[in-house]
Amino acid sequence: DQQVKQNSPSLSVQEGRISILNCDYTNSMFDYFLWYKKYPAEGPTFLISISSIKDKNEDGRFTVFLNKSAKHLSLHIVPSQPGDSAVYFCAARGSSNFGNEKLTFGTGTRLTIIP
Amino acid sequence: DAGVIQSPRHEVTEMGQEVTLRCKPISGHNSLFWYRQTMMRGLELLIYFNNNVPIDDSGMPEDRFSAKMPNASFSTLKIQPSEPRDSAVYFCASTSGLRANTGELFFGEGSRLTVL
């Protein structure tokens, strides 16, 4: 049972326009949500995160929005650049008593920026 | 600073053979994770360790899979015997401290396993 879902396997966006990547989750106990970016033949790298007590977090061209009532989060990239072409994974962290909680990942969305 | 180091980067083996994947976490990190990436299921957590102790191995597919962390700087993931459906990219990740509190992991470059 996929607790974190990315329903769009791929997305193509014109350079300079906005890229919007979406993610849905089912577990209301998740306390942090993250986006990771992955280039071919490399490991995923952390991009941006948001606490479940917030609804927006911004870092340069990247903004993550969280809608808890809809159990939905999105990543906005403005403006999109060719170097943003990669696979983007949405991830959610469940709380535990150990202080090093595990992440549940979605299946990823391949973003292609068209020059 | 060195990141998470995994070896081998690529492994091709025949069904039934034993496979051992290795990971060296970032120095000072006290949590280590093993993930598997497939097209169908994305990134799945197999097992994670905190201070060298396995905390959650519920993602380990079956008894053919085992993982160890004998010390803070080394971990192995072993598959014995291997099967074609084990073909995937296996990632090791580590984290510690404040970054662990927000879920930020540092991944290695992965080990691509092909079982024929």
> B104–A42: do the CB atoms touch at under 8 Å?
no
Which residue in chain B has the smallest CA separation from A51? Answer: B102
Mean pLDDT of B53-65: 90
Q: Which helix (H) or strand (E) holds B54?
A: strand B53-56
pLDDT band per the 50, 70, 90 thresholds, residue A111: very high
pLDDT in tens, B68-94: 999 999 999 999 999 999 999 999 999
Question: Which chain B residues are closer than 8 Å to A98 by Cβ?
Answer: 50, 55
Question: Which chain B residues are closer than 8 Å to A101 by Cβ?
Answer: 100, 103
Residue A96 has pLDDT above 80, yes or no: no
Q: Is A40 on the interface with B (CB under 8 A)?
A: no
Do residues A103 and B105 lie in contact, with contact meaning Cβ atoms separated by under 8 Å?
Answer: yes
Mean pLDDT of A94-106: 69
> B101–A91: do the CB atoms touch at under 8 Å?
no
Name the 3-class secondary structure at A82: helix
pLDDT band per the 50, 70, 90 thresholds, residue A101: low
Name the 3-class secondary structure at B74: strand
Question: Which chain B residues are closer than 8 Å to A95 by Cβ?
Answer: none
> A105–B31: do the CB atoms touch at under 8 Å?
no
- Cα–Cα dist B3/A20, whole Å: 30
User: Which of B102, B106, B109 would best serve as a mutation to test chain A binding (most A beta carbons within 10 A)?
Assistant: B102
Q: Which helix (H) or strand (E) holds B6?
A: strand B5-7
pLDDT in tens, A34-83: 999 999 999 999 999 999 999 999 999 999 999 999 999 999 999 999 99
Mean pLDDT of B37-58: 90
Do residues A49 and A89 lie in contact, with contact meaning Cβ atoms separated by under 8 Å?
Answer: no
Which residue in chain B has the smallest CA separation from A32? Answer: B102
